[in-house]
């Protein structure tokens, strides 16, 4: 959690003091930058090979922006991102492109993240084509194998995404992320658009894949129960800052940060007896923080 | 006496692909001051049930083809649009999922609240405005009098939902229907809105229908719970009873599919969730017998599941279930359910 971290400690990914600021501009012809939104504001953490780091936070906390910066889909304002011993922020274009094989992403919305004009086979084969892997025929075989792994019928390679439900589409998205056999997959809210029963299918799939292929996940979600079932360690973000990082057990059982406490207390659990107690706990925490800040207004 | 009684309500959509039996024989009653939670996944008919009560279903393609909606003994499905407009707002009000789109972005908040009051009450503009300030205060909006002149974009999602609640309460309804009122909100804001709704319900002695896909939200708020699947009620009981002793295989699966927030660390991290295989049936041509049979782990014990349509029956006092295999009547081991 400090700037002394380096890549020699065996972490697959080390993020150090990452900042991403978006300028606030005013005026039309003479546009001036009048300030900045600090979407990510000095975030540092490590992810070891084979583990899942859960990144939780509410909307606008900067968790997705952090994920995009790590994948270099967005250029950071400052800070360092060390992945597999290489400093991603300094890499020349061509080398970065090669590194992209090792890091992939699964997006939130399986309705928006698949090109509606491409066939399922084409979508999954695209990363292989882009990186010039295999021949047309071998890619076809590879695609069938990938679809089979994620539990999607390989005979449907010539169909289009719109023919499938959200859960099936998310399987296509996972197959595409797996195509290049990456080390790291950033899962950006991969189940928030899905119904509970389908959500469970995808979470089970992601767990199985991690076990079978030794994948490392950065698992971004606003849902604390989902993050808990997926993660070894958990990082909590609030307003661009990391407020707490620890093992899942520590963060859930003994949260140290006030925001983390309030966040967990706010989640309703599916048990009316327990939820009555949690509701009282929630009221107590709110009163405490109100007394501390002297703020009578609801947030 | 029940404020609302719904008997065998059927709402169908007449589309080019066929007749979608979106709501197919729903019955329940709701007492003053009580909260009914309606739970189900997308497309199960929970929102169409609410819109049917409100008389807000899109006609065409939708039509109420059977049943009655008794509010104070009056059948709302028989009322003219004019009579229904009087009921909406005055007697029954509704808040929706998305507070971003249910407010008009071009009108000041104050205008939108007073508009509702003026439409339903014979009061002057000043009086309406004063009432609007009181309402905003009641739903917990700071500096209420100043904020009346702000446009919706100046409010956060949680604050907008508070404004929506203020509008819904403006004419003192006796029944409030909340359709996924917190789904678009962050979890800390959700908690505030649920607390607010609960406080208002108690204070005004309103009945409330809370529609949600979130079992946690229901566990927190509902006195009674109704689980819907493919246009039908599959289980109905008091909140405690339903969560303590779920009977329907679908309810059990829904609870099993939820990742746990509390519990043993290793079990949670290394365990698998119970996934329900397949997906809900097409409501243009639903299975003639049990609608859940194709996804049910117990369905192959005998063949009644694919030939006899199960009826809602009372397995314990006040606990109704629609299945041939409720948990309390099963013998032997639970079959393993795979993803």
Identify all chain B residues contacting A57, using CB atoms and an 8 Å cutoff. Answer: none
B275 CB near a chain A CB, below 8 Å?
yes
Average pLDDT, chain A: 89
Helix or strand run (H / E) with residue A200:
helix A196-213
Closest CA to B227 of B246, B245, B201: B246
| ∠ Cα B104 B110 B112 (to 5°) | 35
Whether A268 sits inside 8 A of B273 (CB atoms) is no
pLDDT score of A2 more than 70: no
**Mutate which of A200, A225, A232, A276 to disrupt the B interface (most B C-beta within 10 Å)?**
A200
What tens digit of pLDDT does each residue of A212-234 get? 999 999 999 999 999 999 999 99
- The dihedral built from the CA positions of residue A231, A239, B155 and A284, taken in this order, carries a sign that is positive
Assess whether pLDDT exceeds 90 at residue A287: no
Residue B219 and residue A271: Cβ atoms within 8 Å? Answer: yes
Among A68, A59, A60, smallest CA distance to A37 is for A60
To test the contact with chain A by mutation, choose from B35, B262, B338 the residue with the greatest count of A C-beta atoms within 10 A, namely B262
CB contact under 8 A, A197 and B269: no
Chain B residue numbers with beta carbons less than 8 Å from the beta carbon of A203 are: 259, 273
Mean of the pLDDT values across residues B61-71?
94
Range with lowest mean pLDDT among A294-298, B70-74, B154-158: A294-298
* Token pair recorded at residue A242: 């990391």
A196 touches chain B (CB under 8 A): yes
Across chain B, mean pLDDT equals 90
Q: Could you give the angle at which helices A196-213 and B249-257 cross, rounded to 10 degrees?
A: 50
Which has more pLDDT, B331 or B28?
Answer: B28
* pLDDT reported for residue A24: 86
Half-sphere exposure of B91 (CA within 13 A, CB side): 16
Q: Is A272 on the interface with B (CB under 8 A)?
A: yes
Check CB contact of A179 with chain B, cutoff 8 Å. no
pLDDT of B286 > 70? The answer is yes
User: What ipTM score was computed for the predicted complex, to two decimals?
Assistant: 0.83
Calculate what percentage of chain A has a pLDDT beyond 90: 73
The size of the A-B interface in CB pairs under 8 A is 134
Contact (CB<8Å) A268/B194:
yes
Q: Does B243 touch chain A (CB under 8 A)?
A: yes
pLDDT value at residue A293: 66
Angle in degrees, CA A243, A249, A251, rounded to 5? 15
The confidence band for A4, taking pLDDT boundaries of 50, 70 and 90, is: very low
Chain B residues whose CB is inside 8 A of the A263 CB are 187-188
Check pLDDT > 70 for residue A294: no
- Specify the pTM: 0.87
pLDDT in tens, A142-171: 999 999 999 999 999 999 999 888 889 999
User: Minimal Cα distance from B267: which residue of A?
Assistant: A229
- Is some CB atom of chain B closer than 8 A to the CB atom of A204? yes
**Are A298 and B140 within 8 A, CB to CB?**
yes
Q: Out of B42, B186, B195, whose CB is closest to A59?
A: B186
Residues of A with Cβ-Cβ distance to B252 under 8 angstroms: none
Q: Chain A residues with CB inside 8 Å of B276's CB?
A: 197, 200-201
Question: How far is the C-alpha of B159 from the C-alpha of A298, rounded, in Å?
Answer: 10
Mutation target to probe the A interface, by most A beta carbons within 10 A, among B191, B241, B260, B277 is B191
Nearest one of B159, B167, B206 to B184, comparing CA atoms? B159
Beta strand A184-188 with A103-106: parallel, antiparallel or unpaired?
A: parallel
Q: Which residue of B has its CA nearest to A193?
A: B42
Q: What's the mean pLDDT in A81-93?
A: 94
């Amino acid at each position: 959690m400090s700037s002394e971290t380096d890549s020699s400690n065996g972490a697959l990914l080390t993020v150090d003091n990452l900042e991403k600021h978006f300028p606030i501009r005013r005026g039309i012809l003479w546009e001036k930058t009048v300030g900045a939104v600090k979407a990510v504001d000095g975030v540092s953490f490590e992810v070891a090979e084979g583990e899942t780091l859960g990144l939780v936070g509410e909307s606008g906390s900067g968790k997705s922006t952090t994920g995009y910066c790590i994948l270099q889909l967005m250029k950071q304002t400052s800070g360092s991102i060390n992945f597999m011993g290489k400093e991603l922020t300094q890499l020349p274009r061509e080398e970065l492109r090669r590194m992209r094989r090792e890091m992939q992403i699964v997006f939130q919305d399986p309705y928006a993240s698949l090109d509606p004009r491409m066939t399922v086979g084409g979508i999954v084969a695209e990363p292989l084509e882009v990186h010039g892997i295999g021949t047309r025929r071998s890619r076809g075989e590879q695609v069938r194998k990938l679809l089979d792994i994620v539990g999607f019928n390989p005979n449907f390679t010539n169909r289009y995404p719109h023919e499938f439900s959200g859960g099936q589409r998310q399987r296509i998205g996972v197959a595409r992320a797996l195509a290049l056999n990456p080390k790291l997959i950033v899962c950006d809210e991969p189940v928030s658009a899905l119904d509970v029963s389908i959500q469970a299918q995808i979470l089970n799939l992601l767990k199985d894949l991690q076990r079978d292929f030794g994948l490392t996940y950065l698992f971004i979600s606003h849902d604390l129960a989902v993050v808990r079932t997926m993660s070894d360690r958990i990082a909590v973000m609030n307003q661009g800052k990391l407020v707490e990082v620890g093992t899942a057990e520590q963060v859930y059982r003994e949260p140290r940060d006030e925001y983390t406490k309030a966040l967990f207390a706010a989640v309703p659990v599916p048990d009316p007896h327990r939820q009555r107690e949690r509701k009282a706990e929630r009221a107590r925490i709110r009163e405490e923080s109100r007394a501390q800040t002297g703020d009578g207004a609801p947030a | 006496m029940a404020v609302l009684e719904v008997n065998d309500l059927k709402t169908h959509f007449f589309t080019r692909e066929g007749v979608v039996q979106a709501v197919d024989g729903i019955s329940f009653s709701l007492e003053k001051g009580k909260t009914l939670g309606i739970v189900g996944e997308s497309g199960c008919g929970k929102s169409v049930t609410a819109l049917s009560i409100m008389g807000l279903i899109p006609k065409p393609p939708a039509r109420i083809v059977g049943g009655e909606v008794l509010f104070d003994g009056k059948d709302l499905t028989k009322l003219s649009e004019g009579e229904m407009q009087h009921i909406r707002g005055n007697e029954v009000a509704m808040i929706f999922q998305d507070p971003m789109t249910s407010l008009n972005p071009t009108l000041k908040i104050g205008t939108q609240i007073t508009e509702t009051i003026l439409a339903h009450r014979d009061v002057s503009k000043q009086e309406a405005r004063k009432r609007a300030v009181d309402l905003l205060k009641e739903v917990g909006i700071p500096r209420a009098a100043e904020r009346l002149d702000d446009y919706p974009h100046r409010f956060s999602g949680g604050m907008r939902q508070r404004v929506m609640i203020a509008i819904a309460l403006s004419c003192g309804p006796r029944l409030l229907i909340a359709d996924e009122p917190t789904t678009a909100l962050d979890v800390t804001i959700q908690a505030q809105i649920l607390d607010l709704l609960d406080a208002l319900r108690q204070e005004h002695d309103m009945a409330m229908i809370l529609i949600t896909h979130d079992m946690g939200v229901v566990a927190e708020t509902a006195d009674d719970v109704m689980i819907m699947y493919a246009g039908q009620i599959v289980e109905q009981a008091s909140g405690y009873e339903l969560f303590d002793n779920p009977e329907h295989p679908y309810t059990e699966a829904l609870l099993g599919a939820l990742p746990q927030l509390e519990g043993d660390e290793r079990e949670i991290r290394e365990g698998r969730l119970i996934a329900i295989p397949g997906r809900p049936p097409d409501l243009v041509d639903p299975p003639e017998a049990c609608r859940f049979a194709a996804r049910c782990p117990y369905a192959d014990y005998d063949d009644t599941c694919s030939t006899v349509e199960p009826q809602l029956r009372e397995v314990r006092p006040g606990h109704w279930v629609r299945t041939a295999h409720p948990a309390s009547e099963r013998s032997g081991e639970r079959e393993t359910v795979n993803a």
